[in-house]
Amino acid sequence: MVHLLSRRHVAAVGAVLALAGCSASGSDGAVGWTEPLVEATPAMLKTAGASFPLDAYEATPEQQDTLTRAQGVLTSRCMARLGFTYQAPEQPVPSASESNARVFGLVDSDIAAQYGYLNPGMANAMQKAPAGKTLTEAEQLALTGKEDLDPADLPSNLQEAEKSGGSDLQFNGERVPVGGCVRESFLKLYARKANEVDILFVFNLKNEAQSRAREDSRVRAVDKRWSQCMAKAGYTVSDPMKAAKQLGLTGTELSSPRAVTAAKADVRCKQQVNLVGVRFAVTTAYQQQLIEQQAETLALVKEQLRSRLLLAASLTN
């Protein structure tokens, strides 16, 4: 049976790395930045439920569900103002226990044995997705605006949208917002003022940390050991994040018997070389480094998230 480190152990490792985030181990990376010191590398087999430093600046799965429902309420109100009855389709509630489950690709031996390289979360979401109501042309225009709208013409915040007064489309004596009710609801929840931090700011920081970690000498070394292990099992692959693609597995083949066999070998090799533990420790260190560099902006991110959640709660309670 495969187990994830206890949350206490993960938190302890994170604390160690947080203290070490600014320390340097030399410029061993393939790019120009300095590799942060990693004093402790946990032995990890899974990432489901694991926490990274930047997670603290994003909505939890439960909070994201509240935000999604709140945006649906705002969209419905906008549509009603234009003379349409609209109910936003229900979205599946994200699972906190599955948070970060595939941040390093396939790492769960049970999932590999059952699904191969197919992501069961995506497969289940597609099966459960409710069939949406077919909208009339007028309803679609009210909801999303004109199809040929240039993205550059979309208002970037609510203040800008209100100043413009809306598009030249009208229903029920009301002008349709530029970008439709979907855009208006987004701005009312996520970009009310011109100085709000882009909601993708933390997402982009995470991507930056991932990019740096991929080029880190310690990650490149563990990836090489994984590749050598896979070669002994009869597979020629070099990137643990692209193993299925490198094996020529796509579409329905992702869960084929051949895929299951390869996926099981893949996870075994990751466990043998502690790929998850190394990537977790290194990625955590890079995230902490970025947090220290972006402390002022991230403080605003937290403040704006709190305000956004208060508004969402008032709309959904």
pTM given for the model = 0.83
Q: Alpha-carbon Rg of the chain, whole angstroms? A: 23
What's 244-261 look like in SS3? HHHCCCCHHHHHCHHHHH
Whole-number pLDDT of residue 15: 35
Report d(CA 213, CA 183) in Å as an integer. 35
In this prediction, residue 133 carries a pLDDT of: 74
The domain locations on the chain are: 7-26+42-316
Query: What pLDDT score was predicted for residue 93?
Result: 76
């032995």: which residue's tokens?
43
Burial letters for 126-141: b for 16+ Cβ neighbours within 10 Å, e otherwise?
A: eeeeeeeeeeeeebeb
pLDDT value of residue 230: 98
What DSSP letter does each residue of 132-180 carry, written as one string? PPPPPHHHHHHHH--TT--GGGS-SSHHHHHHHT--S-EETTEEPPTTH
Cα→Cα distances 11→47, 51, 53, Å: 13, 8, 10
Helices (H), the chain: 7-20, 61-81, 109-115, 120-128, 137-144, 158-164, 180-190, 201-215, 217-232, 243-246, 257-273, 275-293, 295-316
CB 201, CB 191: distance < 8 Å:
no
Residue 22, phi then psi, degrees to nearest 5: -95, -10
CA distances from 83 to 44, 142, 144, 171 (A): 55, 9, 15, 7
For 37-61, write each residue's pLDDT tens digit: 998 999 999 999 899 999 999 999 9
Q: What is the pLDDT of residue 136?
A: 95
Q: According to the model, what pLDDT value does residue 99 have? A: 84
Three-state DSSP class for 34?
coil
Query: Which parts of the chain register pLDDT below 50?
Result: 1-30
Cα-based distances in Å from 71 to 66, 135, 160, 249, 316: 9, 19, 19, 37, 9
